[in-house]
Structure 1
């Protein structure tokens, strides 16, 4: 089911599938909720899966003059989606948020948080959500989240952001896309190509990131995230040289978050939806 949420900052396009514990999926840069289209259908066998276009992306229209596209603003949007979904479940007589993966009813001491999974920049949003609204989140899964490194890796990241800024100033959007691909450490060349319409949307979404989000996301520090719920960080087996892989691994070690290696590249959820859904389900089941 596709629907829209009206907020003080604009309209959010959302999609709901399945039933069971609420699972919110948050996409990254140069994409939208279609990134999770195939994996959502699989996850819907066990979860109420909510995916959405982030503020200003594709079908989510920001209010005219809206200037806040920070990671914390995106966390606010995600929190609003969660609250409304919990309210809907309660009004329909369901347990607002089922604890664990069981359907054995509710009790007063069960957690009211939901499961959250974010990829790339969406991982940073998920981490910000769990930091700012801990009462709404029960567990977090981050696939190669956009995280600040330290030492030589921090210098490499600074150089990456500077390349993006210079290319943006010259309106070289394709060059910016190639910088991202290089930072990803490769990609699945066997994945079927996207439609021209989706490719066009992705480029517009990349432009939005470069113009309105980049300063917030590039300025994040690990100390900005204080997460009290279980966190799992996953990185691909085929992109170990990628900057996003290495910075996510380093972040997991620094914060003491659980770390797992999964198949594939940075776009794992889109490239291998069945494997991503299986990995996500196993991670959440392991905690119960």
Structure 2
């Protein structure tokens, strides 16, 4: 794997390239960085040139140059990265909030991506009663701090907080500090931008990009229900992928096989 940096206005985007074949960009969501795809990447690198990256404000791409419309800023950074890679229309798997970024990117650059697999994009418009019951996480963060916000967000989203190692290594301690900083960006800027994002259905339908909305098996969770709602609003049904919201990490081989199958269907 080769790690590179791309200088963009106000930041340096760190990205990784592995494998060979058609270019496949993996876009993480929320506070996640490229390491979220650590298990998935080797399952794809035998057939794709896999590119992963840390979005602006996250982990290696940490910066204070963050717009209130961080979704739009992230979308512009993706376009700069695609221009740097210079591979023509590419395929993209985007997870959660990263899928929101790529949907916005599709509206702005409707031919830059060949196929977008948007995995459980949490589009607020389609949450219904789940949105009404969702706590004000940014307010909890401002008033009670990061730990309280993490607990409230994970519980409301239907996610389990992974157990902490009893005797963490120096690397795990450093990763914990980095993730804490990522959550501060997520709660302070990104979550609000994601929640405020509205899909331009007409533009998405008219784009040259083939949009595949994917969901996992965690029926009833906000991200799952939002994915179903978006897929139907675009005139179709979601495609089932293995595992839950993080199926690419928990079931990487099965997830990779389903992704490759989905991308092959474009031909």
Asked whether the two chains share a fold, i.e. TM above 0.5, the reply is yes
Q: How many residues align?
A: 258
CA distance in 1, matches of 2:202, 2:33: 24
Q: Against the structure 1 CA distance between its residues 240 and 189, is the aligned structure 2 distance closer, same or farther, given a 3 Å change threshold?
A: farther
- Contact (CA 8 Å) 2:212, 2:238: kept in 1 or not? yes
CA distance in 2, matches of 1:241, 1:254: 18
**Which blocks of at least 5 consecutive residues in structure 2 are unaligned?**
none
**Which blocks of at least 5 consecutive residues in structure 1 are unaligned?**
87-95, 97-111
- 1:223-281 deviations in Å (ceiling 9; x for gaps): 367222211111111x1121111111111111124511222211111222112211111
The question of 1:255 aligning with 2:216 is answered no
TM-score normalized by structure 1? 0.82
TM superposition shift of 1:84? 0.8
CA distance in 2, matches of 1:189, 1:267: 12
Alignment root-mean-square deviation, CA: 2.3
- Contact (CA 8 Å) 2:216, 2:244: kept in 1 or not? yes
- 1:138-192 deviations in Å (ceiling 9; x for gaps): 1100111121234xx34532542x52022112133222222332243344979x9
The question of 1:235 aligning with 2:209 is answered no
- Contact (CA 8 Å) 2:117, 2:212: kept in 1 or not? yes
The question of 1:130 aligning with 2:131 is answered no
- Contact (CA 8 Å) 2:228, 2:237: kept in 1 or not? no
CA distance in 2, matches of 1:214, 1:189: 21
TM-score normalized by structure 2? 0.88
- Contact (CA 8 Å) 2:6, 2:12: kept in 1 or not? yes
CA distance in 2, matches of 1:200, 1:158: 32
CA distance in 2, matches of 1:209, 1:224: 26
Residue aligning to 2:190:
213
CA distance in 2, matches of 1:262, 1:169: 35
Residue aligning to 1:108:
none
Summarize the alignment of residues 95-110 of structure 1 with structure 2, pairs less than 5 Å apart: 96=87
